[in-house]
Amino acid sequence: VKARDHMLRFPLVPVKGVPLMNLIANVFDSISAFRPDPSDILVATYPKAGTTWTQEILDLLLHNGNAEACKRAPTPVRSPFLEIVPPPPIPSGLELLEKTDPPRIIKTHLPVQLVPAGFWEEKCKVIYCARNAKDNLVSYYFFDLMNQTQPEPGPFDGYIHKFMQGKLAWGSWYDHVKDYWAAREKKNILFIFYEDMKENPRREVERIMRYLNMSLSDEVINRIVDLTSFKNMKENPMSNYSCVPMPVFDETISPFMRKVTSFIGCDQDGQGHGHGRSSLKDLTVKSSKVLVLITA
Ligand code: A3P
């Protein structure tokens, strides 16, 4: 067990003040130097905010809702994770990107100030998905329990404080969400909310489609909404992360896709209020209230 712990559970090292896995920190210069193609699309999120969901919607949009085409490989192969450096022999994000032809859907958890300058210089489309702090934190906690490459989460009450102090991998949720929000107009970032996708997935799929200057038929949009429901993605081996083997992801501790959560924009029965889009204020004010309650 000791040898396994030593190989996995990589410690965090600050990169320009942001704690990142040491394997990522060691090669950060090569990550910063990455040159995307102008056709590449970047999906940026704080970990556990709805990355996989957004990636799946994008892949289906780019493939005209073709379910079979989007089952060609598991999510991390179809849509490489820019900065990830897994333990060998799993290829790094940069290695996978080299082997993938543009247009690529590239995932990152880097805060906006650490995103390689090439994305802004090439004017790539960038989609940021934010999730309320409480569900994001709980999801991250279960993920850190099951993902053996991240530092040991420890007891939940200590974990909440690490989250609030920005000490978890990829840093502060607050700064992450706030800084992308502040940059969204100048950098032409599409800012979406997990809670909005839950409340009205069709509306959000259409927003993403418009941002990509695409126009698909109602039938295709409906199919994409259906294929990206929680249930269908959980059952799809190409989107549910069952591809990541033990002992890296230990799904006996917690599955990657746990359950449908219900928070902002939803009544207790899970039905939407129909209020339309969340705002950053909604997300942070309601999140803070919940976090205060949890820590009290
Ligand atoms: P939970 O841990 O709350 O279940 P990420 O992809 O950023 O790692 O985020 C994973 C979280 O998004 C998990 O949250 C997962 O269940 C949720 N998720 C993934 N696909 C989803 C979908 N189609 N609908 C709702 N939630 C989804």
- The span from the CA of 42 to the CA of 59, in Å, is 12
Does residue 270 carry a pLDDT above 80? no
Decide if 295 contacts 168 (C-beta within 8 A).
Answer: no
Mutate to test the pocket of ligand 1, among 45, 59, 139, 173 (most ligand atoms within 8 A of CB): 139
Bridge partners for 128 per DSSP: 44, 191
Mutate to test the pocket of ligand 1, among 45, 46, 53 (most ligand atoms within 8 A of CB): 53
Query: Which residue's alpha carbon is nearest to atom 24 within ligand 1?
Result: 230
pLDDT attached to residue 213: 98
Token pair for 175: 């700064």
Does residue 271 carry a pLDDT above 70? no
- The span from the CA of 31 to the CA of 108, in Å, is 11
Q: Which atom of ligand 1 is nearest to the CA of 49?
A: 7
Query: Which residue's alpha carbon is nearest to atom 9 within ligand 1?
Result: 48
Confidence of residue 3 (pLDDT cuts 50, 70, 90): very low
Bridge partners for 100 per DSSP: none
- Per residue in 188-221, is it b (16+ CB within 10 Å) or e — as a string? ebbbbbbbbbbbbbeebbbbbbebbeeebeeebb
Q: Which atom of ligand 1 is nearest to the CA of 261?
A: 3
What ipTM score was computed for the predicted complex, to two decimals? 0.99
Note the pLDDT tens digit of each residue in 28-51: 999 999 999 999 999 999 999 999
Domains identified in the chain and CATH numbers: 2-295 (3.40.50.300)
Mutate to test the pocket of ligand 1, among 138, 150, 228, 257 (most ligand atoms within 8 A of CB): 257
Does residue 272 carry a pLDDT above 50? no
Model pTM above 0.95: no
Query: Which residue's alpha carbon is nearest to atom 20 within ligand 1?
Result: 53
Active site residue 109: yes
Question: Which H or E run includes 165?
Answer: none
Does residue 257 carry a pLDDT above 70? yes
Question: Which H or E run includes 153?
Answer: none
158: three-class secondary structure by DSSP? helix
Around ligand 1, the residues with Cβ closer than 6 Å are 45, 48-53, 135, 139, 142, 228-230, 233, 257-259, 261
Q: How far is the CA of 158 from the centre of ligand 1 (A)?
A: 23
**Main-chain phi, psi angles of 108, to 5 degrees:** -145, 150
DSSP secondary structure code for residue 106 in this structure:
E
